Each structure stands twice: as C-alpha cells, then as structure tokens.
A = this chain, B = another copy of it.
C-alpha cells in the first residue's frame, strides 16, 4: 500500500479512500492511484482489513453430515448465495459429533465470521449455542429446528408433508404402516414422526397396528421390518431420510419383498435422478438448495436489523407420488 502511495505521489490514506470509495477524491489523483495499483499489482489484504473493521465479509456453515445428499445440496445453495453477495464461505462438518460441532463453532467464531449457519448434530450439546445468545454474531439454525431457541431458523414443513403422504397411503387402502425413523433426537425426523402420528389420529387408523422403527443400523432396521411385516401386517413402509431409505430398501430386498406390488414404499429427501431410479419412488422432496439460500438471506437481514424478533421459516416440500405407492392392491 505504501508502494502504491509512493508511486502515485499520495498518502496511504488516499489510497485507502479510493479503494473503498469512502470519501470524495479528485478524479485526477484517483486516476493516478488506480494506475499505480494496476502497475504494482497491489491487492488489499482482506485479513488486515477485517481486523481493523472487525468485519470479515465471511460466513460460516456447519453441517451435521456432509455425506448426505440433502446436506450437500444445502451447502451448494449456501455457497451460491454467499458468493452472490461477495462473501466467503467457511465450511465445517460436525459428522453428528458434539465435540466436532463444538470445535468447529469455536474455530469459526475465532475467525470472526459475520454470520453462522448451523445444522446441529444429532448429539448436539444443549449448551453449544450459549456463546451466541448475546446476538453478537447472527446465527441461523438450518434444517434441524429447535422450537425454543431464540434464533432465526430455516427448515421444511415436515409435519404437514408427512400427513399428506400418509393420507395418500390411506386412500390407497393401507391401514398398517411402518415408519423407519432413525435417530429421533434429530428434530427433522421427530417432526416427521409427529406428522405420522397426526395422520394416524386424523384418519382413524389403529395406533397399535403401526410401527415406528427408531434405529439407524441396517441390521436392526431389517429385523424390525421383518417383524412388522410378518406380525403386524404392515403393507407400506415410509423412510424418513435418504440413508434410512437405502437401508430399508436393502432390507426389503433381503426379505424378498418387492417394492410396489408386495409392499408400498415412500421416502423423504430421496435419491438423485429420481426418474432413473427404479422403481420410481414416491418421495417428499426437500427444497435443500433453497433452504441454503434462505439461510443466507436471513443472516443478511439480521445483519441489517439485529433487534427484529427471531423468525422461523418453513419451506414447502414437494410430494411426488410415483410407482412405489401405486402398484399395491389390498
């Protein structure tokens, strides 16, 4: 910066001001400075600038499972929105571990990110957000919504979507449904279970004839499904996430039940390229990319106006009814 100033015959202060457009400067000198910058190949040091302004022009994102396609999509959406605003994205993955989540949070905060987007880990510690309660750094909770937290949040309408899905199954004649629910500490999954229970009640289905399988391990899922199919006359299976769907489909295959004719099947989130996946699976599609975009928008809004009440945004999910729930007959 000193070099530029010297070459242009001005003070570094002027250089700073032409760079930031932060005060009027004579077009003549302005030109000279620009030329000097060009010739010098000078680039502003974003870090020093951030230290001085205590604003880093960056936002941090912590996802709970970078391997899941839905989260990969959210990362994609966040990256897009962040880049569009000229910010930089700092990415971390907690891999569903409370320790890694805590460490990532500290690290990003130490880097003075201007905002933080967090999809909490399944095992997330209740105290992990304490250091953010003062609102110094805007936080938005992504995907996994915690009712009582005083933060902005973005998720999907899990409860209603599950209801629509089960209504559809009920209309097709299904009376006994098995839900592969996984780790129900995850609010997203708990909401979907709650939606299922809503449906059971509303549709007058017999609660004792339904099965909620709250495990994640494939072998356990298979055992539970086997039991449900044989002893509870379950005719439809609903998986609450992509990895659970994979485990369930493998289990059904091992149990020699054909998806479609033998047992109806539906899933949340689903697989990439659903039109190429056979059989075509009835799927509740999460607007993962848009959720990422929305999260960034909320951060931006919060940076403008920090004392508005926290807001929870739930995006609509698209329910695609396909083959896997069409070929079964009572």
Q: Is A250 an interface residue (CB 8 A)?
A: yes
CA of A58 to CA of B47 in the docked complex: distance in angstroms?
Answer: 12
Q: Which residues of B contact A88 (CB under 8 A)?
A: 90, 92, 107-108, 111
Spot the interface stretch: A64-72, A135-143, A148-156, A309-317. Answer: A64-72
Assess the B56–A67 pair: CB atoms within 8 A: no
CA of A243 to CA of B93 in the docked complex: distance in angstroms?
Answer: 26
Looking at the complex, which one of B43, B90, B104 makes contact with A90 (CB distance below 8 Å)? B90
Task: Give the Cβ gap from A189 to chain B, nearest Cβ, in Å.
Answer: 19
**What residue in chain B is nearest A279 (Cβ atoms)?**
B278
Assess the B271–A276 pair: CB atoms within 8 A: yes
Q: Which residues of B contact A92 (CB under 8 A)?
A: 79, 83, 88-89
**What residue in chain B is nearest A76 (Cβ atoms)?**
B66
CB-based closest 9 A-B pairs: A72-B72, A278-B278, A46-B110, A66-B76, A91-B91, A46-B111, A48-B51, A47-B51, A89-B91
Q: Considering only CB atoms and an 8 Å cut-off, how many residues of chain A contact the other chain?
A: 45
Q: Is A147 an interface residue (CB 8 A)?
A: no
A-B contact pairs, 25 of them (CB 8 A): A43-B109, A43-B110, A45-B51, A45-B110, A46-B112, A47-B51, A47-B111, A51-B51, A66-B76, A69-B272, A72-B75, A72-B76, A75-B75, A76-B93, A79-B93, A80-B93, A83-B100, A88-B108, A90-B91, A250-B275, A250-B276, A271-B273, A272-B272, A278-B278, A278-B279
Interface residues of A in 101-130 (CB under 8 A from B): 104, 106-112
Q: Which residues of B contact A56 (CB under 8 A)?
A: 47
Q: Which residues of B contact A22 (CB under 8 A)?
A: none
In the complex this chain forms, how many copies of it are found? 2
Chain A positions near chain B (C-beta within 8 angstroms): 43-48, 50-51, 56, 58, 66-67, 69, 72, 75-76, 79-80, 83, 88-93, 100, 104, 106-112, 246, 249-250, 271-273, 275-279
**What residue in chain B is nearest A131 (Cβ atoms)?**
B41
CA of A232 to CA of B47 in the docked complex: distance in angstroms?
Answer: 60
Assess the A76–B67 pair: CB atoms within 8 A: yes
**What residue in chain B is nearest A49 (Cβ atoms)?**
B110
CA of A51 to CA of B44 in the docked complex: distance in angstroms?
Answer: 12
CA of A45 to CA of B272 in the docked complex: distance in angstroms?
Answer: 41
Q: Which residues of B contact A111 (CB under 8 A)?
A: 46-47, 58, 88
Task: Give the Cβ gap from A78 to chain B, nearest Cβ, in Å.
Answer: 9
